[in-house]
Structure 1
Amino acid sequence: MAYDDQNIFARILRNELPAIKVYEDDQVLAFMDIMPQAEGHTLVIPKTPAVTLLDLPPEAAAYTIQIVQKIAKAIETALNAKGIVLMQLSGAAAGQTVPHVHFHLIPSSVHELGRHAVQMGDQEKIKALAEKIKALL
Structure 2
Amino acid sequence: MNSVPLSGLLNLMRTGIYSGCIAIITDEVPTANMMNRLSEKVCQHYRSVSVWNLSNEFSEHALHGDNEMLLVYGLEQFLPDGAVIHSARTRLDIRRNSGMFSIMFLEQTTYKKHFCDSKQPFYLFCDSVEEARVTDLTT
TM-score (norm 2): 0.32
